[in-house]
Amino acid sequence: MTKNNQLTAYEDIGKAFDQEDDPLQQYDQKFKRLDSNPIEIYREQKLTGENVTDKRRAEKDRMLNRWQDHMAEFKRHPACPSTEHAMLYIDKLVEKNNVRRYVNSQLNIVAKMFDYWANHPKLPHGTKSTEGYNPIDSARALREDAIGQLPSSKKKQPHRITVEEISHKLRSTENILHRSVIMSQFKYGSRAGQVQNVKIGDIHMQHEGLNDLYPELGSHPRLAEFEDDVIHFPTRNERPGVKSQRPILMPIDTELRRLLVRYLRRRPPVGEDWLFVNNSTGDQLKTRYIRDKMWKPMFHPEYEETEQHRAVNSHYARHRFSTYWRKEIDLNRELVKYMRGDIESSDGSGNYDSLEDYVHTYYENVASEYLANIYKFNL
Mean pLDDT of the chain: 87
Q: Is the Cα dihedral 146, 133, 23, 8 positive or negative? A: positive
**Alpha helix locations (H) across the chain?**
6-9, 11-16, 28-33, 38-42, 54-72, 83-95, 100-118, 135-142, 144-148, 163-171, 176-188, 192-196, 208-213, 254-266, 287-289, 296-299, 316-323, 333-340, 355-373
pLDDT class of 1 with cuts at 50, 70, 90: very low
Per-residue model confidence as pLDDT tens digits over 98-141: 888 889 999 999 999 999 999 999 999 988 888 889 999 999 99
Q: What is the pLDDT of residue 289?
A: 94
pLDDT class of 82 with cuts at 50, 70, 90: very high
Q: What is the pLDDT of residue 211?
A: 85
Query: CA nearest 175: which of 12, 39, 10, 290?
Result: 290
Q: What is the pLDDT of residue 128?
A: 82
Are 255 and 280 in contact by the 8 Å Cβ rule? The answer is no
Per-residue model confidence as pLDDT tens digits over 146-175: 998 888 766 778 889 999 999 999 999 999
Query: Of 70-79, 217-226, 275-284, 351-360, where does mean pLDDT reach its minimum?
Result: 351-360
Instruction: Tell me the sheet residues that pair with 249.
Output: 232
Stronger pLDDT, 11 or 74, i.e. the higher one? 74
Query: Of 1-10, 24-33, 64-73, 200-209, where does mean pLDDT reach its minimum?
Result: 1-10
Domain parsing of the chain, residue ranges: 3-148, 157-373
Query: CA nearest 188: which of 231, 224, 240, 234?
Result: 231
Query: CA nearest 124: which of 263, 195, 27?
Result: 27
Query: CA nearest 210: which of 170, 258, 254, 168?
Result: 258
Question: Is 7 a residue whose pLDDT tops 80?
Answer: no
Tell me if the bond preceding 135 is cis, omega within 30° of 0.
no
Q: What is the DSSP letter of 294?
A: I
Looking at domain 157-373, its CATH architecture is: Orthogonal Bundle (1.10)
Per-residue model confidence as pLDDT tens digits over 218-238: 999 989 888 889 999 988 888
Long-range CB contacts (within 8 A, 24+) of 70-74:
none
